[in-house]
Chains A and B, each alone.
Chain A
Amino acid sequence: MAIETQPERAQGAGGGDPLAGHNPRPWWRRPAIHTAIVGAIIGYVLGHLLGDYLTGATGSASLYPNVVLSDSEDWPIVLGYVLAIVGWLAGLGVFNDILRQVVGRPTASGSGLPEHETSGLARYFRYSLDHKVVGIQYLVGMIIYFCTAGLFAMAIRTELLSPTQHVFTSQVYVEIVGEHGTMMMMLMSSVILGPFGNYLVPLMIGAKRVAFPRVEALSFWLTPMAFVILLSGLLLGGFPFGWTGYAPLSIQSTVGADSYAVAFGLMGISMILAGFNIIVTVICYRAPGMRWSRLPMFIWSMVSTSFLMVLAAPVLVGGMYMLVMDRTAQTAFFEDSLGGSSYLYQNLFWFFGHPEVYILALPGFGIVSEIIPVMCRKPLFAYKVAAAGMIGVSLLSFFVWQHHLFDSGINPDMRPLFMLTTELISIPTGFIYLVALGTFWKAKIRFTVPMLFALAFYFNFLIGGVSGVFLSDVPADTTEHGSFFVMAHFHYTIMGGLIFAFMGGLYFWLPKMMGITLNQKLGKWQFWTMFISFNSTFLPLFAVGMAGQPRRVFEYARNLQTLNDWVSISSFFLGGSILLFVINFVWSTVIAREPGVANPWQSRGLEWQVSSPPPAGNFEKIPVVLSGPYDYGVKDAQPVADLNPPPGVLTAAISQAASVRAEA
C-alpha cells in the first residue's frame, strides 16, 4: 500500500466553480448547515407531496391502489424523510464533487486547502474533510444526543415515583420510553468511535489523514438527521415499542413508527460508513514501524468495533427497510397471518442487536486500556491477551443473539448452544480484567480524573458483566428476562462502562483535541457525584427486577415503591452530575479556555508527540515508529517514533516493501 504523503485537501466551497476555493463566495452562499437545513425542508415538502400524489390523497385517484391500504400518512412521511435526507446532504455540498466528476470538471479537492477551512468556527458547520474537524463535530453532537436522551430517562423515572400512573398518560409514557431507548442505543453506538476514533486513529497510527474523508464526513452528517427524524416521531404520536420495535406491534403502530424505522436505518448506514473508514485507515495508513504488535489498544478496540459495525449494521438496515415496506407497501415480511414471521424480525433485529451492545462496550475497553498504563506508569500487562480479548469478544458476539429469545419459543433445542456461546464470551471479557489487574500490580497509580473514570469503569463493568452471566443461564433467565434486572444489567455495561469510559477519554484527550484542559476540580466533583449516584440508581434495580417488575411499565407492585423512589431520586442526582459535566465542558471550552500543557499525562502515545491541537496535516513528515506505546519504566527505552526521519528512509522503505511484494 502506497503511503500518501500529501494530505487530502479539504474540499473547497461547493457549487460549480472549481476555483471557488480561491475566490470564496459570501458565507451564506457556501454550503454549510444553513443550506443543509433549507435543503432538508425542501426535500421533506417534495417527498410529502410525492407521497400524497402516489396515494391519491391530493384528490386524484391513487396510482397504486394497494398502497392506500396503509390507511394513513405512511407513504408521504417516509418519502418526506428520505427526500429530506437527500436534501440535507445536497445542501451540505456532499454531492458537489461527485457531480463535478460526472460532468468531467476538476474537483475542488486538488486545489489546496483554502484559508478559511483551516481555522475558525465556521468549518465545524460544514461538510469538512478534515478528520480532526469531524472528530469535534461528533464530540459536540454526541454530547447533545446523550443529554437529550438522558432527559427522557429522567422523565421515565419521574413517572415511576409512584406505583400508579400519575404524571404522564400511557401514550406519553410509552413515547418517552421509546425515544429514550432508541436514541441511546442508536446514537451512542458512535459515542467513542465518532469523536475519539475519527480524531485519534490517524494520529495514533502516524497517518496524515483517514482513508476516506468523504465517507467519514458523511457518517457524521447523517447523525443529526437521524436525531431529528427520531425526535420528529414525537410530533407524529411517537412509537409504542421501545428500541426493539418488535413486529407486528411496530407494523400496527401509527405514523410515529416511521420515524423510528427511518432514523434507525439511517444510523445503521452511518455506522457502516464510519466503521468502513476506520478499518481501511488502520489497515492501510499505519506509519512505517507501526506493526500490529505496536498498535495502541485503543486502535485494536476501534478496529474490532468497526468490524462489528460493518458486519452487523447491514442486517439492521435490511430489517428496517423490510419494516418500512411492511408499513407502506403492504408487504408481509413480518405478518404471521400473511405468510411472514414475527420471528424473522426478532432474528434480524438481534443479529444486529447483540453485536450492537458490543459496539457499545468495546470502545470502552479500548479507552481504559489506554488510560491505565499512562496513569500507572507501567506497560500494559499482557498486551496480546488484551488484543485477543477484543477480537474474541467481537467474534463471539455474532453467535449469541438468540439469548434474547430464550423464552420466545424459537429454536428451544438450540438454547443450550446459545447459553454456551453467551457464557463463553465472558472469557475474553475476563481478559480485560486480567490486563487491568496485571497493570495495577506494583504500579504508581495517579488519581487523575481520567484514571478515576477508568477505575470506575472496571468497578461498574464487573457488576454489569457478572449479571450478564446470570442472564445467560436459561433457567435463571426465565425470571430475569424482560425485567428490570436486564435493564440494570445493560445500564451497568453501557452507562457504567461506555459512558464512564467516554468521560475518562474526554478528560484524557481534550487537551489534545482542543488544546484546552477541562477544569480538574469540577471534574473530580463530577466524577464522585456521577459514580455514587450511578450506582445508587442502578444497583437497586437488580433487586427490583428480581422482585418481579417488568421493564417499560408505569404500574408496579406497591411494595416496590420505596426502592423505585430511591432509584428515581438517585437518577435526578445522576442527571445533576451530567449537568455538572455540561457546565464544566462549556465553561472550560468556551469561557475559561485554559490552555493545556502539551503532554499533560507524560504519555508515550504517538498522538501526544505532536502539538496540541495538531497541525492541519497531523505530522510534518510521516513518522517512523520505533517502539511500542507502553514502554513505561523501561531504562533507555527508545522514543516512540522518529518524527523527523532522515530523507530517503521512507522512500527506501516503500521501495523495499514494493520489491518484496513484487517477488511474492
Chain B
Amino acid sequence: MAASVAEDAPVQGAAGPNHGLRIFIIWLPLAVAADIVLYFVYGPHMPPGRMSTSAASQQFDIKVMSVLAAPVMIFVLVFMAYSVIVWRHREGDDEDGPPIYGHARIQATWITVTAVIVLFLAGFGTYELAWPGFAGAGAGQGPSPIWKPNGTPLQVQVIAQQWRFTYRYPQFGGFETTQLMLPVNEPIQFNVTSLDVIHSFWAYQLGVKADANPGVNNVAYTTAIQTGNVTVRCAELCGLWHGAMFDYGRVVSVAAFKAWAARTEVKLAAVTRILPPYASTYDPTVVPQINKAMAKAGIGGANGYYYPPNDPVQP
C-alpha cells in the first residue's frame, strides 16, 4: 500500500524551517517528563492499589500502558497544536497549500511503529494474565480456570442475588454468611455464582471482578498482600436496586481469620444443617424450602427469612 504512494512529493520543503525537528524538540522533553511522572510519581498510587497480587498486576499494567500511551498522545497533540499555530491561514493569502498526496517512508514508519506497540501490548497483557503469580489477574475465568496460583487456595463461594451478596466457606463446614472475611498472604479462590440474574462481583481493592451468572461457577483468584477493608460492588446492572448493591469485606491476619471462621462455623451450625450441601452452583428453586425450614427452626433474619425477599429497605 505504502509503496504505491508517489515519492515525488517531498514533505520537507527546500526552504523554511525544519518543522519536523521543531516538533520533535518540543515533543521529546514533554514525553520524557510525562513518562517519568507517570511511572515514578503517580505510578505507585495508581488505582486499584496494591492490596492484592491481582490489584498489583493491574496497577503495573495500567502503569506500563500509560507510559506507552503518553508519548503517543503527546505527539499527536503537539503536532496538532503546532499545525494550528504555525500553519493557520493568514489574511489575504488565497493560495492553496502544497499538493502533498502522501509519503511512502512516513506512512510505512507510522504503520510499523503502531503495529509494534500494539503487538507488544498484546503479548505483555497475555503474559500478565497467564503468569502464575498473578493467576488470571483477578478476572473471572469460568468454571474450569486455566491460570491457577501455586498452593491450595481458600475457597470462598460468592452467591449473588437481587440485591445482595452472600459468602459461603466450604472448607469450614460450608457455612453461609453475609460477612466477607479473608486471610492475608494466602491464595483465595472466589467461586462466583448467582441465584437469579447476572451480577458482577467486584472487590475493588483486591482487583477482582467476576460476573455472577445463574447456574455457572465463575472462578477468580487473588492473594491479598495487605490487611484492610475491601469495597464490594455489583458491576453489572441487575435491576432496580443495582445502585445500592454493595457491602464491605475485610482482609485480616491468617490467625484472626481462622479464629473467625471456627467461631462462625460453630455459631451458624444450626443454619448450615438446613442449607443444601455445598456445590459449585446454587439451585435457586431450593430457596423457598430453605426459608421454610429456617422459619420452622426459628432462625434466620428478622422476618424469618434466611434469604430475604427481593425488596431491600430504603438505604
Which residues from chain A sit less than 8 Å from chain B, CB to CB? 164-165, 170-171, 173-174, 177, 240-242, 244, 246, 248-249, 252-253, 336-337, 342-343, 376-379, 381-385, 388, 405-413, 415-416, 419-420, 423-424, 426-427, 430-431, 433-434, 437-438, 440-447, 455, 458-459, 462-463, 466, 469-470, 472-479, 481-483, 546-548, 550-555, 557, 631-634
Contact = CB atoms under 8 A, between A and B. Distances in A.
Contact of A382 (B95, B102, B231): B102
Contacts of A554: 243-244
Contacts of A433: 76
A165 B197 CA distance: 23
Contact of B122 (A165, A174, A419, A437): A419
Contacts of B87: 376, 440-445
A240 B239 CA distance: 5
A476 B62 contact: yes
Interface string B77-119: 1011001100111100101111111110011001100110011
A483 B237 contact: no
B241 A383 contact: no
Nearest to B284: A337
B72 interface: yes
A548 B47 contact: yes
Given A248-B196, A550-B202, A634-B99, A555 B244 contact: yes
20 contacts: A174-B240, A336-B215, A377-B97, A382-B107, A383-B102, A384-B4, A405-B211, A408-B140, A408-B211, A419-B126, A424-B122, A440-B79, A443-B87, A458-B80, A476-B58, A478-B58, A546-B47, A546-B48, A552-B242, A553-B242
A474 B80 contact: no
B266 interface: no
A597 to B, nearest CB: 16
Nearest to A345: B198
B91 to A, nearest CB: 11
Contacts of B54: 475, 478
Nearest to A486: B235
Contacts of B76: 433, 437, 458, 462
Query: Which of A240, A241, A548 is the most central at the interface, judged by chain B CB atoms within 10 Å of its CB?
Result: A548
Given A407-B139, A473-B61, 5 more contacts: A242-B237, A409-B216, A462-B76, A479-B55, A555-B243
Interface stretch (B128-136, B165-173, B253-261, B271-279): B128-136
A548 B238 contact: no
Contacts of B93: 444
A631 B83 CA distance: 20
Interface stretch (B32-40, B142-150, B174-182, B287-295): B142-150
B139 A406 contact: yes
Contact of A479 (B2, B48, B146, B239): B48
Given A478-B58, A548-B48, A555-B246, A440 B118 contact: no
B73 to A, nearest CB: 6
Contact of A420 (B99, B122, B217, B244): B122
Contacts of A378: 96-100
B13 interface: yes
B50 interface: no
B143 to A, nearest CB: 7
B5 interface: yes
Query: Which of A406, A443, A455, A554 is the most central at the interface, judged by chain B CB atoms within 10 Å of its CB?
Result: A443
B118 A423 contact: yes
Nearest to A424: B118
A462 to B, nearest CB: 6
A249 B208 CA distance: 23
Interface string B176-217: 000000000000000010001110101010011111011111
Nearest to A375: B89
Nearest to B244: A555
Query: Which of B11, B231, B233 is the most central at the interface, judged by chain A CB atoms within 10 Å of its CB?
Result: B233
A246 B237 contact: yes
B154 interface: no
A478 B218 CA distance: 14
B137 interface: yes
A638 to B, nearest CB: 13
A174 B102 CA distance: 50
Nearest to B109: A434
**6 closest cross-chain pairs (CB), A and B:** A633-B96, A482-B235, A409-B218, A475-B137, A440-B83, A554-B243
Contact of B139 (A379, A445, A470, A475): A475
B12 to A, nearest CB: 10
Nearest to B211: A408
B113 to A, nearest CB: 9
A123 B170 CA distance: 71
A446 B209 contact: no
B161 interface: no
Given A385-B1, A411-B142, A445-B89, A475 B202 contact: no
A10 to B, nearest CB: 40
A472 B243 CA distance: 26
Contacts of B79: 437, 440
B223 interface: no
A410 B96 CA distance: 55
B98 A633 contact: yes
A633 B94 CA distance: 11
B214 A466 contact: no
A430 B110 contact: yes
A552 B234 CA distance: 10
Query: Which of B134, B192, B198 is the most central at the interface, judged by chain A CB atoms within 10 Å of its CB?
Result: B198
Query: Which of A441, A553, A633 is the most central at the interface, judged by chain B CB atoms within 10 Å of its CB?
Result: A441
Nearest to A385: B107
Nearest to B75: A437
B196 A252 contact: yes
Contacts of A442: 13, 19, 87, 97-98, 100
A415 to B, nearest CB: 7
A438 B121 contact: no
B101 A379 contact: yes
A106 B313 CA distance: 67
Given A423-B122, A437-B76, A444-B97, A476 B211 contact: no
B118 A409 contact: no
Interface in B43-72: 46-48, 54-55, 57-58, 61-62, 65, 69, 72
B125 interface: yes
A430 B72 CA distance: 10
Given A336-B215, A475-B139, A445 B204 contact: no
Query: Which of A177, A469, A550 is the most central at the interface, judged by chain B CB atoms within 10 Å of its CB?
Result: A550
B236 interface: yes
A405 B69 CA distance: 24
B17 to A, nearest CB: 11
B198 A342 contact: yes
A409 B29 CA distance: 43
